[in-house]
Every structure is written in C-alpha cells, then in structure tokens.
C-alpha cells in the first residue's frame, strides 16, 4: 500500500489520459458545428438566387426583358439585387433547352470556390406565350 501511494507515475498517466480524452471530445464537439455551418451556407446562396428571380419576375418583367433580348437590363437588375461580394452568372434557355443569351450575363470572374445554382421557370405574361428557364449561379467565399 505504501509503495502504491509513493508511486506517482500511474497518476500522471491517468491525468495525461484524462487530458487526451478532453482534447478528443472537444474536437468531436466542434465537428458537428462545422457541419451545420457548411449546410446553412450551402442553402443560403441558392435560396438567395431563388428570392431574387421570384421578386424580379413578380410582374412578369423578366419574361418581357427576355422577349426583348434585353440582356443588359437583366444584368443590371440582378447586379442591383446582390451584394458586390457575390459573383453571379445568368444563362437563359428557351423551351427547347437552347441558350438564348448571346452575351455573357455575369459579374466577371468568380471570387470564391463556393458556387450554387438555381433554375427558375419564367412564364411570359404576353398573349404570345413562352416559357423560359433562367439559370442563376451565385458564388462567394465559403
């Protein structure tokens, strides 16, 4: 018993093991937090893209602009809706999935590796009915 009490090596190892466990547990506790962050970030850009397109087309303006092939105004409208820190690229398809925009509708080169896409069905309100698909890509830093 005396020998056991005088031997401190076992105690140190117990303390080391305890700290190792705490370290591992704390790193484990952080993993779900990072996972949640990345999921929220993933949804937010496509959700933003969806909100932008739904709002801009609420009165059928987007379809009218596409009918007129007015890509400059579409680019200006989308640019005015998003933060300057975000990158965007728009592609417009007709109902045969052919690309309609003959010029790039974009804010330039990408500024991050995190890009999300939302595709929106844009129905014309004119008497001559047309359905377009607008693909809006949003990118930013993760």
Query: Applying CB under 8 A, which of residues 16, 38, 42, 141 lies at the interface with another protein?
Result: 16
Q: Which is nearer to another protein, 20 or 99 (CB)?
A: 20
Is residue 125 part of the contact set for another protein (CB under 8 A)?
Answer: yes
Separation of alpha carbons 142 and 132, rounded Å? 30
Is residue 14 part of the contact set for another protein (CB under 8 A)?
Answer: yes
The first and second tokens of residue 46, run together, are 């496509």
Query: Applying CB under 8 A, which of residues 2, 3, 98, 109 lies at the interface with another protein?
Result: 3
Q: How far apart are the first and last CA of the chain?
A: 59
Separation of alpha carbons 46 and 135, rounded Å? 11
Query: Applying CB under 8 A, which of residues 50, 79, 110, 114 lies at the interface with another protein?
Result: 50
Question: 35: alpha, beta or left, given left = phi > 0 and alpha = psi -120 to 50?
Answer: alpha
Q: What residue ranges in 8-113 does DSSP mark as E strands?
A: 87-93, 105-106
Interface ranges with another protein (CB under 8 A)? 3-4, 7, 9-10, 12-14, 16-18, 20-21, 24-25, 28, 32, 35, 43, 47, 50-51, 53-54, 57-58, 60, 63, 95, 97, 119-129, 131, 133
């Amino acid at each position: 018993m005396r020998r056991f009490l005088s031997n401190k090596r076992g105690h140190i190892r117990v303390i080391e093991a305890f700290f190792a466990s705490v370290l591992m547990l704390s790193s484990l506790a952080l993993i779900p937090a990072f996972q949640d962050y990345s999921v929220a970030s993933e949804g937010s850009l496509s959700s933003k893209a969806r909100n932008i397109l739904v709002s801009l087309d609420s009165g059928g303006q987007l379809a009218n602009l596409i009918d007129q092939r007015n890509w400059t105004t579409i680019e200006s409208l989308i640019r005015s809706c998003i933060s300057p820190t975000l990158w965007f690229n728009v592609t417009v398809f007709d109902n045969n999935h052919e690309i309609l925009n003959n010029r790039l509708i974009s804010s330039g080169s990408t500024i991050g590796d995190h890009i999300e896409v939302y595709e929106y069905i844009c129905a014309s309100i004119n008497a001559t009915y047309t359905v377009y698909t607008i693909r809006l890509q949003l990118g930013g830093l993760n």
